[in-house]
């Protein structure tokens, strides 16, 4: 069922002031945003309005108790100049899984999809076309009750804004295996895109930066042995001719880029295993010369090649990027599907 979205267009676009060649991730915001509020069990007044500050009560429960979730997805231009989205329904479904875990109302599909499509259409001149760039889309839902008691909020706001971006990691990354802090535990919120999952990563990542690393590899909360995910990505390792990625077990994010990589590789006949993988196994593979590739996958990062892994002080140096069969194949195939320059046998692309 189509919904009616009120449109309040900005009087003047800021797009001409943007230097699309030199965009720093997450610093430039497009002209408009979509907003819908939830009150008395009803989603009210869906609207597109100029991107700008919003007024919040100091007692807003999202700020105090973290009842806040988000998504990340991207829009691209196809060769005909049309705007298109990559797997938006998968993001929508994941957002509602996060909402359920955080005791928030699920967003109706027609509101999410129509708001998203109309927003991207209205700001389509903001979609960059350089390889590796995209219009990053940030939907988020947060609790708005001005009440400081701890209970699920009764009111919420759902907003989508967009920003033109280049790759999240401009070059291959150096990572260190985290053995002190824990990201998630069974029964926790590790699978959800809850704001707090990212807040808790900041101190360990800051400590890693001080030691000269770009990111950390999270390990399981019991033994710090099994690989979970990295800062903003899921992880893949290529051992011999087998691609291995940690299984989805409730503690890691069900990455849509992760799932796309698995499907692309299976479709091309590669051996791929979704299972527990220990750092010990990776270190042993490295010692035998079998660790051919390691990379993170995520909407923002796309494919982040890992250049070096530090595990208990042992430095594992990965082959040069030009020699990486799997991560290069995935980067090129995904990039091609995003922009419809490579066939999309999976039906992932949705035109707006």
Give the interface with ligand COI as residue ranges (CB under 6 A).
72, 198, 232, 298-300
CB of 298 to ligand COI, least distance (A): 4
Nearer to ligand COI, 46 or 88 (CB): 88
Coil, strand or helix at 102: coil
Nearer to ligand COI, 72 or 164 (CB): 72
CB of 213 to ligand COI, least distance (A): 17
Which residue, 287, 319, 290, is CA-closest to 306?
A: 319
Nearest residue (beta carbon) to ligand COI: 72
With b for 16 or more beta-carbon neighbours within 10 A and e for fewer, the 278-305 pattern comes to ebebbbebbeeeebbbbbbbbbbbbbbb
Strands (E), 56-213: 68-70, 73-77, 83-86, 134-143, 156-165, 173-177
Nearer to ligand COI, 36 or 69 (CB): 69
CB of 257 to ligand COI, least distance (A): 7
CB of 308 to ligand COI, least distance (A): 22
Nearer to ligand COI, 292 or 305 (CB): 305
Nearer to ligand COI, 5 or 23 (CB): 23
CB of 198 to ligand COI, least distance (A): 6
Nearer to ligand COI, 72 or 204 (CB): 72
CB of 336 to ligand COI, least distance (A): 19
Q: What residues contact residue 109 under an 8 Å CB cut-off, 6+ apart?
A: 89, 92
Site of tokens 């938006």? 88
Helix/strand/coil (H, E, C) string of 132-166?
A: CCEEEEEEEEEECCECCCCCCCCCEEEEEEEEEEC
DSSP state of 32: E
């Amino acid at each position: 069922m189509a919904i009616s979205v009120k449109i309040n267009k900005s009087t003047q676009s800021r797009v001409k002031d943007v230097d699309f060649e030199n965009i720093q991730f997450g610093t430039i915001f497009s002209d408009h945003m979509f907003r819908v509020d939830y009150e008395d069990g009803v989603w009210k007044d869906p609207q597109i309005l100029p991107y700008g500050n919003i007024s919040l009560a100091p007692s807003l429960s999202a700020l105090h108790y973290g009842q806040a979730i988000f998504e990340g997805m991207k829009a691209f231009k196809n060769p005909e100049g049309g705007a298109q989205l990559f797997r938006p329904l998968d993001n929508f479904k994941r957002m509602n899984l996060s909402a359920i875990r955080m005791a928030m109302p699920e967003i109706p599909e027609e509101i999410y999809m129509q708001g998203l499509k109309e927003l991207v259409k209205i700001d389509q001149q903001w979609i960059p076309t350089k390889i590796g760039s995209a219009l990053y889309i940030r939907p988020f839902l947060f609790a708005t009750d001005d009440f400081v008691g701890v209970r699920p909020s009764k009111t919420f706001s759902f907003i989508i804004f967009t920003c033109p971006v280049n790759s999240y990691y401009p070059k291959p990354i150096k990572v260190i295996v985290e053995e002190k802090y824990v990201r998630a535990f069974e029964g926790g919120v590790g699978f959800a895109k809850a704001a707090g999952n990212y807040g808790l990563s900041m101190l360990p990542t800051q400590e890693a930066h001080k030691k000269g690393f770009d990111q950390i590899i999270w390990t399981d909360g019991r033994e710090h042995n099994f690989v979970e995910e990295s800062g903003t990505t899921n992880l893949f390792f290529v051992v011999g001719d087998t691609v291995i990625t940690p299984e989805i077990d409730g503690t890691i994010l069900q990455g849509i880029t992760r799932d796309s990589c698995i499907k692309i590789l299976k479709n091309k006949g590669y051996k791929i295993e979704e299972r527990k993988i220990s750092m010990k196994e990776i270190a042993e593979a490295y010692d035998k010369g079998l660790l051919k590739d390691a990379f993170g996958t995520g909407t923002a990062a796309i494919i982040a090649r890992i250049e070096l892994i530090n595990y208990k002080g042992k430095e594992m140096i990965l082959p040069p990027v030009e020699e990486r069969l799997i991560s290069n194949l995935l980067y090129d195939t995904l990039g091609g599907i995003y922009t419809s320059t490579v066939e999309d046998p999976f039906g992932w692309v949705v035109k707006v």
